[in-house]
A = this chain, B = another copy of it.
Amino acid sequence: MAAHPDPKTFLDAWHPIVAGPDLVALPGVLSPRVSMGAPPYWQKIEGRYVVAHLLGVIVTTIEDFRYHREWIDGAELALEFTGHVGSLDLQGIDLITLNADNQIANLDVLIRPMNAVAKLQEIVAPRMMEFLKQRAG
């Protein structure tokens, strides 16, 4: 177990998971109590399996997803990405806080422009509803 967060070890695991995407390995890089601030809502989404599912749906919905600038400051990371949803270009950033086990403790995802966020939500929201209903059922 890591004594303190090591962003390089985390990024070596994270990049292939997102590039794959490797939805089986994805939950392993999330804290069991991970929280996520998604682009459309203020309220945080919480818990490994809900966040992993949401991230999986987002990553498979954004086309040509690619990381660019990367900032690291101890356990705090900022990762810029671009992609598109249909004909709508987008630019986003993952603001990540790692825990001592190199898992994501908190992830905030900010995306511009607004029409791309709305289009993404249009696709992602029904898939999340279905997932949450199945879990509840």
Contacts and interface: CB of A to CB of B under 8 A. Distances in A.
A71 B70 CA distance: 9
B110 A40 contact: no
Interface in A34-85: 37-42, 69-73, 76, 78, 80
A16 to B, nearest CB: 23
A27 interface: no
Interface in A80-107: 80, 88-93, 95
B95 A95 contact: no
Nearest to A40: B114
A112 B78 contact: no
17 contacts: A37-B91, A38-B112, A38-B113, A41-B114, A42-B115, A71-B71, A71-B73, A71-B78, A78-B78, A78-B93, A80-B95, A91-B108, A92-B110, A108-B112, A110-B111, A114-B114, A114-B118
Given A40-B114, A78-B80, A110-B110, 16 more contacts: A37-B91, A39-B113, A40-B113, A41-B114, A42-B89, A42-B90, A42-B113, A42-B116, A69-B73, A69-B78, A70-B73, A71-B73, A80-B95, A93-B110, A114-B114, A114-B118
